Amino acid sequence: MPLQEDIALMAGPRERWEALEGARIFVTGGTGFVGKWLASALVAANRVHGLEAKLVLLTRDPRAFSRTCPELAAAEGVSLVEGDVRAKVACEPCGFVIHGATPSDQWLNTRRPAEMLSVIEDGTRSVLRLAAEWDAGRFLLVSSGAVYAPPAPSAGFAEDSPLGPDWPEERSAYHAGKRRAERLALGAADAGLSVTVARLFAFVGPHLPLDRHFAVGNFLADALNGRSVSVHGDGSPIRSYLYAAEMAVWIWSMLTDDRAAGETFNVGSEEAVSIREVAAAVASAVDPAVPVTVLGEVSEGPRDVYLPDTGRASVRLGLRRSVDLAEGLRRTVAWHRGHPENGVRA
């Protein structure tokens, strides 16, 4: 269950949601981190505003999702469809489609890159075909800031910043796959589908995995269990973190706002922080606070910077961050304290 302040933030004003009143929305990747927040936001809007919108979540394992998120799975208006994103889906037509199914598995990306590319590229092709068959009114592709070619400009990556190369010149199948997915979506747009691309950066909030390659998630796992927060590098890379509830608001706004049709937007925060600073913020977000241990030596070469320029979303859609990193961490810790089943101290 989301925190009350998150429910209020996500539901927002009714006019944000009016385009979805009585609508059917199909979401792939709906049972992952991003998908859980998208579902939470629509459920909140349904309850607060009486939209009577229907949300169809494609998942490979409905039973697992029902166990981990029983309130979402059983929420009014939510239904689960079992299937692989690359295969034909048996589902009634939906007027809106959000395609976000992508494995966030570093092992798969490294050890089975062909499978990673297939899930992203073939999955996107399949969902675009489905949206065309349904004559969907809007299609939103959940892409990534990973499509950009480093290094980042001083003000962060803008939507017109250069993109990186294709596989195998690009060594990350995930990065290359996202670029291929965008090309497929642009091709569908040329054929008449109303497409919006949302390039996601980094986030913090409930449901973020604490045991994968997300630095802030690993830091939270340490702090929530009373351990010293371990920074495995030198802590110098620069990142930014948008709170997850706001991420969901931005994505839904990009799907429903006519001004977003045919456009590409960055989704993230411009509040730049070093990894060392993130570790310190996490360590002080728990009570009692825990120490920080930096394990790596100072590295040579240019600093690793991964930041978005979100001016386009701000100017064109009026989207702005309202929850800073410290408040986002406070809410995340509070949520985990109320969910000891996640393997952290209550």
Indicate the Cα dihedral angle 130, 138, 207, 74, nearest 10°.
-70
Containing 140, the helix (H) or strand (E) segment is strand 138-144
Alpha helices in the chain (DSSP H): 4-11, 33-49, 62-68, 70-73, 106-111, 113-134, 173-190, 215-224, 244-256, 275-285, 311-317, 325-337
Residue 156 has phi, psi (to 5 degrees) of 95, 165
pLDDT in tens, the chain (346 residues): 788 999 999 999 999 999 999 999 999 998 899 999 999 999 999 999 999 999 999 999 999 999 989 999 999 999 999 999 999 888 999 999 999 998 767 777 888 999 999 999 999 999 999 999 999 999 999 999 999 999 999 899 999 999 999 999 999 999 999 999 999 999 999 999 999 999 999 999 999 999 887 899 999 999 999 999 999 999 999 999 999 999 999 999 999 999 999 999 999 999 999 999 999 999 999 999 999 999 987 777 778 999 999 999 999 999 999 999 999 999 999 999 988 666 666 5
β-pairing verdict for 138-144 and 195-200: parallel
Structure tokens at 208: 């973020």
**Prediction pTM value:** 0.95
For the stretch 193-252, pLDDT in tens is 999 999 999 999 999 999 887 899 999 999 999 999 999 999 999 999 999 999 999 999
217 token code pair? 């998630």
The fold of 4-204+241-269+302-322 is: Rossmann fold (3.40.50)
CA angle 166, 255, 189 (to 5 degrees): 50
Rg (CA), the chain: 19
Question: CB-based contacts of 271: which residues, under 8 Å, 6+ apart?
Answer: 240, 241, 321, 324, 325
Provide the residue ranges of all domains of the chain, joining segments of one domain with +.
4-204+241-269+302-322
What is the percent of the chain with per-residue pLDDT over 90, rounded to a whole number?
A: 86
Contact partners, residue 97, CB within 8 Å, separation at least 6: 25, 26, 27, 127, 130, 131, 134, 136, 138, 139, 140
Q: Residue 76, Cα to own-chain centre: how many angstroms?
A: 23
